[in-house]
A and B are shown apart, each in its own frame.
Chain A
Amino acid sequence: MHLAVQDLGVARGGIAVLEGLTFRVEAGTALILRGPNGIGKTTLLRAIAGLQPSLNGSIDTPEDSIAYAAHSDGIKQALTVRENLEFWAAVFGTGDINGALDAFALQPLALRPAGALSAGQKRRLGLARLLVSARPIWVLDEPTVSLDVDAVAMFAAAICAHLEAGGLALIATHIDLGLDADILDVAPFKARAPISVDDAMEGFL
């Protein structure tokens, strides 16, 4: 179980943003991505999660092993907390959601409609979804936005539990989560000569 990328390049809107990325994350470890805003961290994480194609290079992960969490939490306002989690648990084929509810202190809120939650509570629900997805690789984009100190601690505990169970995590975050994790600054990988998505574009200039 590992996540490896080799000489990876990603593009946003047809223009290359990052190139030449090579790293490997082993089971039980986490890798933290840092870099200035707009450098392409979100684009990189989406490419690794399989939501968009990469420009060049390779991404090596086992099939269907990634759980992705980003800015939008995928929460339906009209469903209760419990119903939201049960939906995702059913989609990913896992059963029990109580562990996830407990990990993020959502049990007292379980029957409340998600629309009535505060921003921090919604984010906790979004992160709880990771626990019911039962996938070994977590790809997280700024997961701690809206979380207060206690919630960040809950989240860090959840990650530690995940890593101890043999999972791995790739996290873009500015916060120090207190994890014993490597940090990768992606700023040096900024794409130099803007190569565009298709070679034919070169012919345009």
Chain B
Amino acid sequence: MSLWEYANPVKFMALSGRILPWAVWLSGICLVIGLVWGFFYTPDDFRQGSTVKIIYLHVPSALMAINVWMMMLVTSLVWIIRRHHVSALAAKAAAPIGVVMTLIALVTGAIWGQPMWGTWWAWDPRLTSFLILFLFYLGYIALWAAIEDNDTAADLTSILCLVGSVFAILSRYAVNFWNQGLHQGASLSLDKEKNVADVFYQPLLFCIAGFVLLFVALVLLRTRTEIRARRTSAFLARERMG
């Protein structure tokens, strides 16, 4: 039973239709457990007060922002090498989810930073890298939207994703270099070592699981929609041919 079977749209629709309700329910449950537990049933941090609880949104969304891009990278490679339409459509479907995750990460990062820094934004290396990632997502989505022919769009956006990934990594190092002189060790990023106490960590796991499942549910849903949209245009094209 090879994974490649699901490159066939019909099989993909069948399998995703079965998985989708599970993903939706499980993600909802995990998110509710994780967020309620994390926000209401954990003690306040002695230094940062209750604002630190924003990590229950910030960390999972930041993780997903990166993971979604990596998923897009893999599906783009699959398109380039094996030309499975489902793969290309999955990348197209994932991008808006990724951009929203990045936005959540940025906003929650700013909310977290405000009490600590007295400012809504700081050019902390990690936040800055996410801002750049946000721009990459926007460019990718804009390119999909600008091209009419489906196959051309899939080809161009997958090459953009590849090149963009290389530059995203380059930017990560560049941004670290750029900011190293200013705020040594005072970044807003969560140091797992600092908050390793179980009492914080367990609800975080639920939140992360919830976000992952949420992404799975959303990307399956959106890919199914893209497939249906393609079916419609294929029907129209067939009609036009007479």
Q: Is the CB of A14 within 8 A of B149?
A: yes
Number of B residues with CB within 8 Å of any CB on chain A: 20
Residues of A within 8 A of B10 (CB): 203
Which stretch from A137-145, A146-154, A191-199 is at the chain B interface?
A191-199
Instruction: Quote the shortest CB–CB distance from A52 to chain B (angstroms).
Output: 11
Residues of A within 8 A of B230 (CB): 201, 204
Chain A: number of interface residues, binned into ranges: 10 to 19
Q: Is the CB of B151 within 8 A of A200?
A: no
Q: Is the CB of A198 within 8 A of B231?
A: no
Residues of A within 8 A of B235 (CB): 205
Given contacts A194-B237, A200-B7, contact A14 B85 (CB under 8 A): no
Judged by a CB distance under 8 angstroms, whether B222 is at the interface is no
Q: Mark B7-19, 1 if CB is under 8 A from A, else 0.
A: 1111100000000
Within 8 A of B (CB), among A54-107: none
Judged by a CB distance under 8 angstroms, whether A15 is at the interface is yes
Judged by a CB distance under 8 angstroms, whether B207 is at the interface is no
Given contacts A13-B149, A14-B149, A196-B234, contact A201 B241 (CB under 8 A): no
Task: Tell me what chain A mostly uses at the interface: helix, strand, loop, or mixed.
Answer: loop
Q: Is the CB of B234 within 8 A of A201?
A: yes
Given contacts A15-B241, A198-B85, contact A205 B149 (CB under 8 A): no
Q: Is the CB of A204 within 8 A of B237?
A: no
Residues of B within 8 A of A191 (CB): 241
Q: Which of B8, B149, B150, B238 contacts A203 (CB 8 A)?
A: B8
Residues of A within 8 A of B84 (CB): 200
Q: Is the CB of B234 within 8 A of A204?
A: yes
Apart from A198-B83, A201-B85, what 13 extra A-B contacts exist at CB < 8 Å?
Answer: A14-B150, A14-B151, A194-B241, A198-B85, A200-B8, A200-B9, A200-B83, A203-B9, A203-B10, A203-B11, A204-B9, A204-B85, A205-B234
Q: List 20 A-B contacts (CB under 8 A).
A: A14-B150, A14-B151, A14-B237, A15-B241, A194-B237, A196-B234, A198-B83, A198-B85, A198-B151, A200-B9, A200-B83, A200-B85, A201-B234, A203-B9, A204-B9, A204-B227, A204-B230, A205-B234, A205-B235, A205-B238
